[in-house]
Amino acid sequence: MLCASLLVGTACSFTGAAKAQQAGVPEISPQELVRLVVAHEVAATSDSAKHMFCSHKKTPKGSQTHLYVETNDALAGMLTEVDGQPLTLQQRQAEFGHLDWLIHNPDQLRKKHAREQEDADRTMRIVRALPDAFRYQYAGTENSTESEGKPGDLLVRLNFSPNPGYSPPSHVEQVLEGMQGYLLIDTNEHRIAKIDGTLFRDVSFGWGIFGRLDKGGHFRVQQADVGNGSWELTLMDLSITGKILLFKSISMNWYEVFSDFEPVPSDLSFAKGVELLENEEKKLANEGESAAAQQTQQ
């Protein structure tokens, strides 16, 4: 009986491998693929390429458009539209004033950079945990898009569910215990093109004393090659509710698209980045005024 089971299992393995190869799925195990890709994601954090880009964010309270530029000191950003309407002169001056304040307050700029680094470190802790936190299964392939992977590449889909043997090293990784979903992987570039996850049960932090995330929470993150082999975040879709300290409700709900990536010098200072932002904002404002004047004349 044992021999028969082994023969059946071996035959199924060969059949599955043949089907996977025909579908363009890598020959290595899905777990090995994720481990390889995560190693590339970690290595990519040393990429010095920087960009100026646009963000359009929607929340239940409305929408906002920002211009951002990556610098050596911190991310410089300014609001340009609220609910599709350009800022008033007073609002624009306030944005310029805040950026000028940061330039002339190095302590505040260092604090801003430290907060951004903490967020990046938490993100990388989650990414590093992916190979061990989940079990993966190949689930076919999809075509890449402008905002997902590298244009022209085939993306491999991996469904994932929690690994019961995984022990989170801290509360940061605890959320993974209650999550299932799928990854899209660009196997040519060995990069994650998309992560789509849903909480299938409530997740508690610190034995329920510090907080809880509610079942049904969902997040989706996409990244893509935006030129010259540089990958950037292109979409973040988050809908999560829960409680902190068992009584304070939390709700994170937004949909944000990042686009119009333009390369900037890799050694860009914050002050020079702000100068680029202000020039771009003024150009966009002038274009908006010209378009409005043409519509009025028509």
Q: What is the mean pLDDT of residues 125-150?
A: 96
| pLDDT for residue 272 is more than 70 | yes
Tell me the domain boundaries of the chain.
44-297
Query: Can you tell me the distance from the alpha carbon of 120 to that of 113, in angstroms, rounded to the nearest whole number?
Result: 10
Q: What is the mean pLDDT of residues 270-286?
A: 91
217 by Cβ neighbours in 10 Å (0-12 / 13-18 / 19+) ranks as buried
> Tell me, what's the pLDDT at 9?
36
> Tell me, what's the pLDDT at 292?
61
Q: Which residues of 134-148 are buried (b: 16+ CB within 10 A; e: fewer)?
A: bbbebbeeeebeebb
Confidence of residue 3 (pLDDT cuts 50, 70, 90): very low
Query: Can you tell me the distance from the alpha carbon of 20 to that of 14, in angstroms, rounded to the nearest whole number?
Result: 10
The string of pLDDT tens digits covering residues 147-158 is 999 999 999 999
Query: Can you tell me the distance from the alpha carbon of 274 to that of 19, in angstroms, rounded to the nearest whole number?
Result: 53
> Tell me, what's the pLDDT at 14?
30
Pairing state between β 50-59 and 248-264: antiparallel
Task: Name residue 90's amino acid.
Answer: Q
What is the token pair recorded at 99? 């950026």
Of 262, 221, 263, the C-alpha closest to 239 is 221
Task: Name residue 89's amino acid.
Answer: L
Residue with tokens 């979409």: 235
The string of pLDDT tens digits covering residues 92-105 is 999 999 999 999 99
Point out which residues pair with 44 in neighbouring strands: none
Point out which residues pair with 50 in neighbouring strands: 264
Contacts of 69 (CB under 8 A, 6+ apart): 50, 51, 52, 53, 75, 76, 77, 264, 268, 273, 274, 276, 277
Contacts of 32 (CB under 8 A, 6+ apart): none
What pTM, to 2 d.p., does this model score?
A: 0.85
Residue with tokens 């002050």: 271
| pLDDT for residue 291 is more than 70 | no
> Tell me, what's the pLDDT at 270?
97
What is the token pair recorded at 1? 């009986």
Is the CB of residue 139 less than 8 Å from the CB of residue 183?
A: no
